């Protein structure tokens, strides 16, 4: 059983999925924040792979990627960060999230090899829809890395099978049509959609985009198997520059899901 | 078209060989498929083309003339030089060709709001123009740097009723404007159509924009047969994303005797890190919904492009050009800022035509090769835009102060 599967199975409450950008604001601070996340209550960690042109992200995550790149971040460093994290943690799943070009330049097969040996469990590649994912999908499967698919309010039931094909680990439900860090979603509009998706898959569903506060998390937790918090944690990292503040924020998010 | 025709691209999933495709976030994917469906239906509808043709004739002023540039031909002393005068289009460049086509597709889709990106402002002006014509609200994303260096076009867009949003991320140029337009589109998918300004982006945009632009090459073929009784020997066009070049080249792709040259912006030189020559100085990658050639580092981070011409200041190129480059069907060269600036002045004086800085790149290449070619060699350059918008940039480069 994969780490991701095990995590969802073991929980009798919604999972807290936290996003940070690898290397933001610098490699050392970012690693310190990463190591503290499980202790503070993060069940799954999404680690952003910095990219110059993050078209699906709002300004908070775009700026985080920019800070990381300015501080010298690259794909090798991101994978090293996962290896360093794994020295002290064998349970918490890590999902790398980002855009396809840095993976393509690394070499898709070599990337999957190195990601697997580093201890990466899953991948979210925002700009790689099922239509373009054949090569990456088979390379990932060969290394037991989950390809986590995005489902959005625009995904029709007609299109759903295409998105579910090859999906594993969990499904990431994008709660709004928009970029990361934007306004919160309206629970009543997404609830029926999620309910319908549930009839087509047994995979856990985590909701992300626009979830900022413990209240948001508790609300979304009512209708999903996990909630993703990203921009507001990234905002804390840049404002406080202090892993302790991030831990406190994650603790209060986690307790809202208990 | 035969099975081996170079005009058969892209395949049904939008690939030109390995290039093109649809590398977009899931939120956009259903809409992209809808655009494709709407375009395919429109393409098969004779009424759609009738409406375009009428507007091309009466509103844009097509066909654009084919002009024999006698003074230039004599001065350069080699090839016989013609200009395809797309700078005479209303409102000043070839961009109107794909704007008319796309806004009619948007209307068929029932979209009520238009967004676009612009570099030099030519595409923004053309989009704002068709939005005024069809009474649709228009939002133009433009890099903050470009807003500054293309002030006349910014004012023009505002007069036409468009909202111009300066984009400050990155270097504040075309790439950043495109990112921002994509973000707006993701947010407003339900009512918005993204009117992409070149043969780039996710499928079907590269093919659709090419089809609307290929009127340039189609007209040229007819005009040249009438004038010279044969096809031209060489076609020259500048390339940023590559829309005017694709429009000129496409109808000739299967005419093996016609040479084609795409001129990229060499900025301070392709051996520096200050240029916009994606094919000459870049490598295959994925950005803005497509696989193509991009300026990037070994980690896959996209590099900032540089060109004196805001319309060529883009670190990528349309996927069909990437494919034609690999096929070696089209020759791609580059021209520096200084060479383009010199060409701008020469063309203005020789022919009394102020070209935009974009086709000035094409003309710089013409000045290099025409003298080496025999007198019976027919060369056609696409004069894709007029230079009124560039006089401030040029004045500044020449150290001339003009106050309004």
Residues of A in contact with B285 (CB under 8 A): 101, 104-105
Domain total in chain B: 2
CATH of domain A3-256: 3.20.20.70
Residue where one domain finishes, among candidates B162, B179, B209:
B209
Cβ distance B295 to B208 under 8 Å? no
- Flag whether B235 is in a domain: yes
Looking at the structure, tell me whether residues B253 and B287 fall in a common domain.
Answer: yes
Looking at the structure, tell me whether residues B343 and B317 fall in a common domain.
Answer: yes
How far B300 CA sits from the closest chain A CA (Å)? 4
Q: Is a pLDDT exceeding 70 seen at residue A99? A: yes
Query: Are residues A155 and B287, on separate chains, in Cβ contact within 8 Å?
Result: no
Q: Is a pLDDT exceeding 80 seen at residue B2? A: no
Looking at the structure, tell me whether residues B82 and B106 fall in a common domain.
Answer: no
Give the pLDDT of residue B152: 87
Nearest CA in chain B to A56: B183
User: Which residues, numbered 116 to 175 in chain B, qualify as contacts with chain A under a Cβ-Cβ cut-off of 8 Å?
Assistant: 169-170, 175
Domain span including residue B279: 63-92+214-397
Looking at the structure, tell me whether residues B202 and B299 fall in a common domain.
Answer: no
Looking at the structure, tell me whether residues B237 and B136 fall in a common domain.
Answer: no
Residues of B in contact with A52 (CB under 8 A): 170, 301-302
CA pair distance B102, B311, nearest whole angstrom: 20
Q: How confident is the model at residue B1 (pLDDT cuts 50, 70, 90)?
A: low
Query: Are residues B179 and A56, on separate chains, in Cβ contact within 8 Å?
Result: no
Looking at the structure, tell me whether residues B202 and B248 fall in a common domain.
Answer: no
How far A239 CA sits from the closest chain B CA (Å)? 20
Q: Which residue among A75, A101, A132 sits closest to B287, beta carbon to beta carbon?
A: A101
Q: What is the mean pLDDT of residues A158-187?
A: 92
Looking at the structure, tell me whether residues B68 and B113 fall in a common domain.
Answer: no
Angle between helices A27-40 and A243-256 (to 10 degrees): 30
Looking at the structure, tell me whether residues B365 and B254 fall in a common domain.
Answer: yes
Cβ distance B42 to B104 under 8 Å? yes
Instruction: Tell me what the pLDDT averaged over chain B comes to.
Output: 96
- Flag whether B158 is in a domain: yes
Using one digit for the tens of pLDDT, what is the confidence trace for B77-92?
A: 999 999 999 999 999 9
How far A248 CA sits from the closest chain B CA (Å)? 31
How far B326 CA sits from the closest chain A CA (Å)? 19
Give the pLDDT of residue B404: 53
Residues of A in contact with B25 (CB under 8 A): 55-56, 126-127, 129, 150, 152
Query: How many A-B residue pairs are in contact by the CB < 8 A criterion?
Result: 114
Q: Is a pLDDT exceeding 60 seen at residue B359? A: yes
Give the pLDDT of residue B4: 83
Using one digit for the tens of pLDDT, what is the confidence trace for B36-62?
A: 999 999 999 999 999 999 999 999 999
Q: Is the peptide bond before A25 cis (omega within 30 degrees of 0)?
A: yes
Q: Is a pLDDT exceeding 80 seen at residue B3? A: no
- Flag whether B10 is in a domain: no
Residues of A in contact with B296 (CB under 8 A): 101, 105
φ, ψ for residue A158, nearest 5 deg: -65, -35
Write the CA distances from B224 to A253, B97, B165, B257, B404, integer angstroms: 71, 20, 42, 15, 42
Using one digit for the tens of pLDDT, what is the confidence trace for B267-311?
A: 999 999 999 999 999 999 999 999 999 999 999 999 999 999 988
Nearest CA in chain B to A102: B300
Contact A177/B at CB under 8 A = yes
Using one digit for the tens of pLDDT, what is the confidence trace for B169-227?
A: 888 889 999 999 999 999 999 999 999 999 999 999 999 999 999 999 999 999 999 99
Contact B296/A at CB under 8 A = yes
Give the pLDDT of residue B173: 86
Looking at the structure, tell me whether residues B80 and B163 fall in a common domain.
Answer: no
Looking at the structure, tell me whether residues B224 and B186 fall in a common domain.
Answer: no
CA pair distance A49, B259, nearest whole angstrom: 43
- Flag whether B402 is in a domain: no
Looking at the structure, tell me whether residues B224 and B116 fall in a common domain.
Answer: no
Nearest CA in chain A to B28: A154
Q: What is the mean pLDDT of residues B10-29?
A: 96
Query: Are residues B300 and A149, on separate chains, in Cβ contact within 8 Å?
Result: no
Looking at the structure, tell me whether residues B189 and B225 fall in a common domain.
Answer: no
Query: Are residues B183 and A179, on separate chains, in Cβ contact within 8 Å?
Result: yes
How far A57 CA sits from the closest chain B CA (Å)? 8
Cβ distance A226 to A205 under 8 Å? yes
Residue where one domain finishes, among candidates B182, B209, B236:
B209
- Flag whether B403 is in a domain: no
Nearest CA in chain B to A75: B299
Helix-strand-coil split of chain B, %, nearest 5: 45, 20, 35
Using one digit for the tens of pLDDT, what is the confidence trace for A67-97?
A: 999 999 999 999 999 999 999 999 999 999 9
Which residue has 């299109």 as its token pair?
A159
Residue where one domain finishes, among candidates B177, B209, B241:
B209
Residues of B in contact with A99 (CB under 8 A): 286
CA pair distance B340, B309, nearest whole angstrom: 9
Helix (H, G, I), strand (E, B), or coil: what is residue B166? strand
Give the pLDDT of residue B403: 67
- Flag whether B155 is in a domain: yes
């Amino acid at each position: 059983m994969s780490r991701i599967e095990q995590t969802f199975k073991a929980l009798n409450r919604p999972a807290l999925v936290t996003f940070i950008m690898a290397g933001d604001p610098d490699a050392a601070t970012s690693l310190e924040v990463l190591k503290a996340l499980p202790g503070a209550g993060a069940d799954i960690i999404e680690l952003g792979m910095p990219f110059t042109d993050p078209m699906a992200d709002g300004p908070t995550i775009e700026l985080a990627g920019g800070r990381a790149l300015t501080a010298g971040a690259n794909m090798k460093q991101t994978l090293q960060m996962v290896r360093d994290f794994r020295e002290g943690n064998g349970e918490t799943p890590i999902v790398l999230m980002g855009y396809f070009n840095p993976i393509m330049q690394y070499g898709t097969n070599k990337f999957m090899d190195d990601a697997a040996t580093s201890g990466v469990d899953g991948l979210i590649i925002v700009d790689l829809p099922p239509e373009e994912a054949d090569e990456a999908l088979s390379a990932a499967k060969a290394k037991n890395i989950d390809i986590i698919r995005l489902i959005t309010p625009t995904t029709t039931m007609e299109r759903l099978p295409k998105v579910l094909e090859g999906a594993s680990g969990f499904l990431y439900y994008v709660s709004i049509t928009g970029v990361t860090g934007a306004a919160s979603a309206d629970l009543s509009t997404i609830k029926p959609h999620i309910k319908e998706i549930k009839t087509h898959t047994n995979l856990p569903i985590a909701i992300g985009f626009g979830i900022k506060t413990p209240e948001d998390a508790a609300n979304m937790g009512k209708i999903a198997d996990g909630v993703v918090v990203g921009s507001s944690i990234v905002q804390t990292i840049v404002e406080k520059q202090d892993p302790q503040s991030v831990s406190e924020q994650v603790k209060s998010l986690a307790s809202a899901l208990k | 078209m035969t099975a081996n025709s170079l005009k058969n691209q892209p395949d049904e999933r939008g690939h030109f060989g390995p290039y093109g495709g649809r590398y977009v976030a899931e939120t956009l994917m259903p809409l992209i498929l809808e655009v494709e469906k709407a375009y395919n239906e429109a393409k098969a509808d004779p009424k759609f083309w009738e409406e375009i043709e009428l507007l091309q004739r009466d509103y844009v002023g097509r066909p654009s003339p084919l002009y024999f540039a006698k003074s230039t031909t004599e001065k350069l002393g080699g090839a016989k030089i013609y200009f395809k005068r797309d700078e005479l289009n209303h409102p000043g460049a070839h961009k109107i060709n794909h704007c008319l086509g796309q806004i009619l597709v948007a209307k068929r889709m029932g979209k009520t709001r238009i967004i676009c990106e612009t570099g030099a402002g030519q595409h923004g002006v053309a989009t704002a123009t068709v939005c005024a014509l069809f009474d649709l609200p228009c939002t133009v994303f433009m890099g903050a740097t470009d807003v500054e260096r293309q002030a006349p076009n910014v004012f023009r867009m505002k007069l036409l009723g468009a909202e111009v949003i300066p984009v400050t991320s990155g270097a504040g140029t075309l790439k950043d404007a495109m990112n921002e337009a994509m973000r707006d589109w993701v947010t407003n998918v339900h009512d918005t159509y993204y009117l992409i300004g070149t043969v780039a982006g996710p499928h079907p945009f590269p093919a659709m924009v090419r089809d609307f632009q290929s009127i340039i090459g189609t007209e040229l073929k007819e005009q040249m047969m009438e004038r010279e009784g044969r096809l031209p020997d060489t076609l020259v066009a500048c390339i940023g994303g590559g829309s005017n070049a694709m429009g000129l080249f496409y109808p000739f792709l299967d005419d093996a005797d016609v040479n084609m040259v795409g001129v990229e912006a060499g900025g301070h030189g392709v051996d520096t890190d200050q240029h916009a020559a994606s094919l000459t100085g870049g490598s295959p990658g994925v950005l803005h919904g497509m696989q193509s050639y991009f300026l990037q580092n070994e980690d896959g981070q996209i590099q900032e492009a540089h060109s004196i011409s805001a319309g060529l200041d883009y670190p990528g190129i349309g996927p069909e050009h990437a494919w034609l480059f690999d096929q070696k069907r089209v020759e791609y060269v580059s021209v520096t800022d200084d060479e383009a600036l010199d060409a701008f002045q020469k063309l203005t004086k020789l022919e009394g035509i102020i070209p935009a800085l974009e086709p000035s790149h094409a003309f710089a290449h013409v000045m290099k090769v025409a003298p080496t070619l025999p007198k019976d060699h027919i060369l056609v350059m696409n004069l894709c835009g007029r230079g009124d918008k560039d006089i401030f940039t040029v004045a500044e480069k020449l150290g001339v102060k003009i106050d309004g």
